[in-house]
């Protein structure tokens, strides 16, 4: 009886804490959009403005992750984070099991730029953030590659979820799109494969924010060694074939490691 009561109290607490965290995030995002974003565009120097906004976002998400840990909502298990902090400009290619993946990666990466859904550019909680930080919309594939190349040249790490949306299930990934491959071939930047997992599952494609798991969920992040395009692309291959080969190679590389780490369930 006592154990069941304790479980219900713990679940109710984590539900309330999760709701509070999402409320704070929404309010802060809205304030950023209507206050910080207009002020940021008065900043005369574009490069320093973007650096400042990017660092503000990084520290905000670090604080939010710490708050979720302190509240007992989540745990964080990270391996290889020094490559995100000190490795220089790279293209982070990650699987996308939960809604919180981008928050965690931004909290781990001080100089980051993201490819985000075009729908977020009209979201009242996000539109100011994505513009002030000069994030990149996924609406136009050609512009995505060109803008990504500019951000890499400026010293930023690009964070890309090539599935395009959250993974459909624990045993499946969406097919990878080729934008990151064209970007890597265009600028010669290394690719950092990143494995993401959430145990027990939370904020997945099929769950609502209030579907609180039976215990605090653990976000697991494993940053693999950098991979060059030359590993998968035959010398002299035409651009389209090279992008296809690189996309398939990285998708297989990530899928194999997800299975090895136990982040992805093998299909029968």
Give the whole-angstrom CA distance, residue 161 versus residue 175. 11
Q: Which residue has the tokens 């990149």?
A: 136
What would you measure as the largest C-alpha separation in the chain, in angstroms?
Answer: 69
Strand bridging mode 136-137 / 74-79: unpaired
Tokens of 268: 């029968």
pLDDT in tens, 222-251: 999 999 999 999 888 898 999 999 999 999
Q: Which residue has the higher pLDDT, 3 or 95?
A: 95
The structure's pTM equals 0.91
pLDDT digits (tens, 9 = 90+) for 170-227: 888 999 999 999 999 988 899 999 999 999 988 888 877 777 777 888 999 999 999 9
């Amino acid at each position: 009886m006592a154990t069941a009561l304790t479980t219900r109290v713990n679940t109710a607490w984590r539900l309330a804490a999760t709701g509070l965290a999402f409320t704070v995030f929404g309010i802060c995002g809205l304030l950023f959009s209507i206050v910080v974003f207009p002020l940021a565009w008065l900043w005369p120097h574009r490069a320093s403005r973007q650096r400042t906004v990017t660092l503000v976002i990084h520290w905000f998400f670090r604080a939010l992750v710490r708050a979720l840990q302190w509240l007992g909502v989540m745990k964080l298990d990270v391996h290889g984070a020094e490559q995100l902090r000190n490795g220089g400009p790279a293209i982070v290619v990650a699987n996308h099991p939960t809604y919180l993946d981008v928050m965690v990666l931004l909290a781990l990466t001080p100089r980051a730029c993201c490819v985000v859904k075009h729908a977020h550019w009209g979201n009242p909680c996000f539109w100011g953030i994505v513009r002030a930080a000069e994030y990149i919309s996924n609406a136009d594939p050609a512009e995505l590659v060109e803008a990504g190349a500019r951000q890499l040249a400026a010293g930023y790490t690009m964070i890309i979820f090539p599935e395009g949306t959250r993974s459909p299930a624990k045993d499946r990934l969406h097919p990878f799109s080729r934008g990151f491959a064209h970007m890597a071939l265009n600028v010669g930047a290394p690719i950092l494969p990143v494995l993401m997992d959430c145990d027990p599952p939370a904020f997945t494609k099929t769950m609502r924010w209030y579907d609180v798991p039976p215990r605090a969920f653990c976000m697991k992040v494993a940053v693999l060694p950098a991979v060059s395009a030359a590993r998968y692309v035959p010398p002299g291959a035409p651009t389209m074939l090279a992008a296809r080969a690189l996309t398939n190679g990285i998708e297989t590389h990530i899928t194999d490691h997800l299975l090895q780490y136990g982040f992805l369930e093998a299909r029968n």
